[in-house]
Amino acid sequence: MARPGIEDGPASRPWEHSYRGSGRLAGRKALITGGDSGLGRAAAIAYAREGADVAINYLPQEESDARDVQALVQQAGRKFVGLTGDIRNEAFCQDLIARAATELGGLDIFVNCAGRQHTHDDILEVSTEDFDWTLRTNLYALFWLTKAAIPRMKPGSAIIFTASTNAYNPSSNILDYSITKAGIANFAKGLAKQLVRRGIRVNAIAPGPFWTPLQVSGGQTIENVEKFGTDVPMGRPGQPAEIAPVYVQLASAEASYMTGQVVGVNGGVGLP
């Protein structure tokens, strides 16, 4: 159930046709997980407009959304690579990185946007299967993908994780999701220290309430969806287009002195 002004549909995406980059990522090669919708889609389109070739990972049932992204990337004159598969599988994660690097001709930017969020008002309702699904999608996959990506990345490359304000102020109905987002923020800070010697920067973005398909596909209750984003100072949820420039900046040479940071984009909440 969407409210006027916050739908994540074609009417809310005029920026996808009006956004014009300045070539800040010219010649770069980027892989974005979850690039078919939401924040990943916004990042993929912005990267292409900024001059990067883009590979995205998505699930087979999201093929039509991925084809939309492909059209926009190619309209920007950049190469598009679509790679389907479930990142809960370690072997697939390794293959995903290898295929992306091969088909793009390198890998300079790795962005993790794929994630699972499912609402449970009571921890007693969270089965081991649900808990495992969330952790394998949000944490295990990130670990496997990052390990596979690092050897393929040259100095000047950038890794960008997607955390959440739930890492710092967890919502009571998405405890397993919040655990993973806290882990992602911590992982970014620690890994950044390791990778300085390789010349690879690692940062994370901690979004507040952003209107994406994640919210209406089981990520929140209908009651929460109806008032989604109204509790932040700006009084509304963000649109994916409003976070895309942050993904661009962290991937670009403009952020050459930024590593180990968790950047909050949350409508004035003040976290992290």
CATH number of the domain encompassing residue 172: 3.40.50.720
In a domain, 105, yes or no: yes
Distances in Å between the Cα of 85 and the Cα atoms of 96, 141, 204, 267 are 8, 12, 24, 33
- Please report, as a single letter, which amino acid is at residue 6: I
Question: In 10 A of CB 18, how many CB atoms?
Answer: 8
In a domain, 245, yes or no: yes
pLDDT digits (tens, 9 = 90+) for 30-68: 999 999 999 999 999 999 999 999 999 999 999 999 999
In a domain, 72, yes or no: yes
Identity of the highest mean pLDDT range in 199-208, 210-219, 236-245: 199-208
Q: pTM higher than 0.85, yes or no?
A: yes
Give the residue among 105, 36, 22 at the shortest CA–CA distance from 66.
36
**Structurally, how many domains does the chain consist of?**
1
Place 229 in a pLDDT band, splitting at 50, 70 and 90: confident
In a domain, 65, yes or no: yes
Pairing of strands 201-207, 109-112: unpaired
Q: Within a 13 Å sphere around the CA of 253, how many CA atoms are in the beta-carbon half?
A: 9
In a domain, 13, yes or no: no
Q: Provide, rounded to the nearest whole percent, the portion of the chain with pLDDT above 70.
A: 89
Active site residues: 177
Largest CA distance in the chain: 50
Domain span holding position 201: 25-265
Give the span between the Cα atoms of 89 and 144, in whole angstroms: 9
In a domain, 3, yes or no: no
Give the span between the Cα atoms of 113 and 138, in whole angstroms: 9
DSSP string, 74-113: HHTT--EEEEE--TTSHHHHHHHHHHHHHHHTS-SEEEE-
